Amino acid sequence: MKVLKFGGTSVGSVNSILSVKKIVEAVDEPVIVVVSALGGITDKLLHISGLASAGNKSYKKEFTEIVARHKTIVEGVIPKSKQAVALKKVMETLDELENIYRGVFLIKDLSAKTSDAIVSYGERLSSIIVSNVIKNAKLYDSRQFIKTHRQFNRHVVDFEQTNKLIRKAFKPVPKVALVPGFISSSMEDGEVTNLGRGGSDYTASIVAAALDASILEIWTDVDGFMTADPRVINSAYVIEHLSFTEAMELCNFGAKVIYPPTIYPVFHKNIPIKVCNTFNPNAPGTYISKETVKKETENEKKAIIKGISSINDTCLVTVQGLGMVGVIGVNYRIFRTLAKSGISVFMVSQASSENNTTFAVKNEDATLAVEVLNEEFAPERSRGEIEDIVAEKDLATVAIVGENMKRTPGIAGKLFGTLGRAGISVIACAQGASETNISFVIKLEYLRKALNSIHDSFFLSEYKMLNLFLAGVGTVGGHLLEQIKLQQKKLMTQNGVKLNVVGIANSKHMLMRREGLDLKTCLKDLKEKGQESSLALLRDEIIKMNIFNSVFIDCTSSEKIAGLYETLLNKNISIVAANKIAASSSYKNYQLLKETARKRGIKFLFETNVGAGLPIINTMNDLINSGDHILKLEAVLSGTVNFIFNTISEDIPLSKAIKMAVDAKYAEPDPRIDLSGKDVLRKLVILAREAGYPVEQKDVKTNLFIPQKYFKGSIDNFWEHIAELDAEFEEKRKELAAKNKRLRFVASMNSGACELGLMEVGSHHPFYELEGSNNIIMISTERYHDYPMIIKGYGAGADVTAAGVFADIISIANIR
Return the active site residues: 683
Beta strand 531-532 with 183-186: parallel, antiparallel or unpaired?
Answer: unpaired
HSE of 755, CA atoms in CB hemisphere, 13 A: 9
| Cβ contacts of 28 within 8 Å, gap of 6 or more | none
The C-alpha atoms of residue 433 and residue 480 are separated, in whole angstroms, by 49
Amino acid at 751: S
What single DSSP character describes residue 739?
A: T
Q: Is-cis flag, bond preceding 172, omega within 30?
A: yes
d(CA 686, CA 122): 72
277, 219 Cβ separation under 8 angstroms? yes
Query: Could you tell me the CA-to-CA distances from 458 to 78, 124, 238, 302 in Å, in that order?
Result: 49, 45, 16, 9
- Nearest of 769, 702, 704, 775 to residue 742 by alpha carbon: 769
Integer Cα distance of 360 and 315 in angstroms: 6
Question: Is the distance from CB of 664 to CB of 643 less than 8 angstroms?
Answer: yes
Cα angle vertex 560, ends 556, 563, to 5°? 105
**Nearest-angstrom CA–CA distance, 469 and 550:** 8
Among candidate residues 470, 463, 446, the one with its CA nearest the CA of residue 575: 470
CA–CA gap between residue 714 and residue 528 (Å, rounded): 36
Sign of CA dihedral 262, 263, 269, 274: positive
Backbone angles phi, psi at 278, to 5 degrees: -60, -30
683 in Cβ contact with 617 (< 8 Å): no
Packing angle of the helix pair 59-77, 41-53 (nearest 10 deg): 160
- Under a CB-based contact definition with an 8 Å cutoff, are residues 528 and 490 in contact? no
Distance CA 404, CA 381 (A): 44
The residue ranges of DSSP E strands in 564-619, in sequence order, are 574-577, 604-605
Residue 330: burial class (beta carbons within 10 Å; 0-12, 13-18, 19+): buried
Question: If DSSP codes are grouped into helix, strand and coil, which group holds residue 341?
Answer: coil
